[in-house]
Amino acid sequence: MSDPVLSLEDLTVTFGTRRGPARAVAGVSWSVARGETLALVGESGSGKSMSVLAATGLAPRSAQVSGKVRLHGEDLLADTEAGRRRRRGRHIGFVFQDPMTSLNPVLPIGRQVGEASEEHLGLTRRQARDRAVELLDLVGIPSARERVDSFPHQFSGGMRQRVVIAMALACDPDLLVADEPTTALDVTTQAQIVELVARLQDRLGTAVVWITHDLGVVAGIADRVGVMYGGRIVEQARVDDLFADPSHPYTQALLAARPDPAHAGGELPAISGSPPSPLELPQGCAFWPRCPVRGDARCEHELPPLREVGGGHVVRTFYRSETIGRSA
């Protein structure tokens, strides 16, 4: 694997709340390289979004962030706020979840797409506008030149998300962060957006961190996957390995919970219970209360370290199984 574009080392994010400290992210480490797509999977509250936001300096002011975040080798967290901002703007593009609200309603889309290039690449208004037209074209907005001065409300949800992607690519970033970019879209549009990002990645060689709770998307686009629960990484592997040999009970449960047409008519398997509150995280594995396997009693009170299963596949559990996990 070539030098990673972004790598997190032992990132921890804590919030002080009226009821005590809430730990949203604990000791998370991962990295992503050029041309590679890393998917971060987990339920709401697993810390998958917060880890990326905190790593890039977008966490709320009340967050306490520790650890190292290397962008092209240099620690972002050790930098000044202005430095962080500049590097983030120049090298990382963001696509957030809701295209209806991610765009400024009173500015023309061309302006919004081109802004970052004015700021970070020193382009003039004119140049930025031309670049915006190119980018809009690239993401598949028809009649880009005519529509570059239109306003967001004149576009549909799917089109707006394409505009957002164009905006994220304005400075030719090395990394694209997509935080549940298709969750608010209908299924057909979802597929289009996923395909668009895959195509762009092939063409531009951008690294992609794709945050989602949808395993279907993961299967479609990811090279590597990180599964998060209770603020920690519980399993990380190449995508094929993860689907073929899920080693953490949570991953297994996630995979089993997907509706399978082969089992039509039966009950939908769901994971009972609900995710832990960041205010009351247990000493041991956070998944224990809901774990359908509970194969190793140590997991209850002792935090399992990340254990290598083979070929870049790591898992955070004491439980070893040879027999289960071959399903999928």
Partner 1 sequence: MGRFVVRRLVQSAVVLLGVTLVVFLLLQLVPGDPVRIALGTRYDQGTYDALRARSGLDRPLVVQYLSYVGHAATGDLGVSFRTGQPVTTIVLERLPATLSLALTAIVLALLVAFPLGILSAVRSGSALDHAARVFSQLGVSVPDFWMGIMGILLFSGVLAWLPPSGYESLRESPAGWASHVILPAATVGLVSASILTRFIRSSVLEVLSEDFVRTADAKGLRPRVVVLRHVLRNALIPVVTVVAVQLASLLGGVIVVEVLFAWPGIGRLTYDSVQARDYPVLQGAVLLVAALFLFVNLLVDILYARLDPRISVR
Residues lying near partner 1 in the complex (CB under 8 A) are found at 56, 58, 85-90, 94, 96, 98, 101-107, 115-116, 119-120, 151, 153-154, 164, 167, 170
- Output the smallest distance, CB 287 to partner 1, in A: 30
How many C-beta atoms surround the C-beta of residue 260 within 10 A? 14
- Output the smallest distance, CB 100 to partner 1, in A: 9
- Give CA–CA dist 5/18, Å, rounded: 37
Our CB check for partner 1 shows the closer of 106 and 264 to be 106
- Output the smallest distance, CB 51 to partner 1, in A: 15
- Output the smallest distance, CB 116 to partner 1, in A: 4
Our CB check for partner 1 shows the closer of 16 and 273 to be 16
Residue 224 has phi, psi (to 5 degrees) of -130, 155
Residue 295: strand, helix, or coil: coil
- Output the smallest distance, CB 252 to partner 1, in A: 35
Our CB check for partner 1 shows the closer of 48 and 88 to be 88
- Output the smallest distance, CB 177 to partner 1, in A: 8
**Strand ranges inside the chain, DSSP E:** 4-17, 20-33, 37-41, 63-71, 74-75, 92-95, 175-179, 207-212, 224-229, 232-238, 307-310, 313-315
**DSSP codes of every residue in 126-190:** HHHHHHHHHHHHHTT-TTHHHHTT--GGGS-HHHHHHHHHHHHTTT--SEEEEESTTTTS-HHHH
Our CB check for partner 1 shows the closer of 151 and 243 to be 151
Place of tokens 């430095």: 83
Our CB check for partner 1 shows the closer of 153 and 320 to be 153
> Could you give the C-alpha distances from 274 to 2, 251, 263, 286, 316, in angstroms and in order?
39, 15, 25, 11, 20
> Could you give the C-alpha distances from 106 to 121, 128, 301, in angstroms and in order?
24, 18, 54
- Output the smallest distance, CB 241 to partner 1, in A: 32
Our CB check for partner 1 shows the closer of 87 and 316 to be 87
Our CB check for partner 1 shows the closer of 119 and 137 to be 119
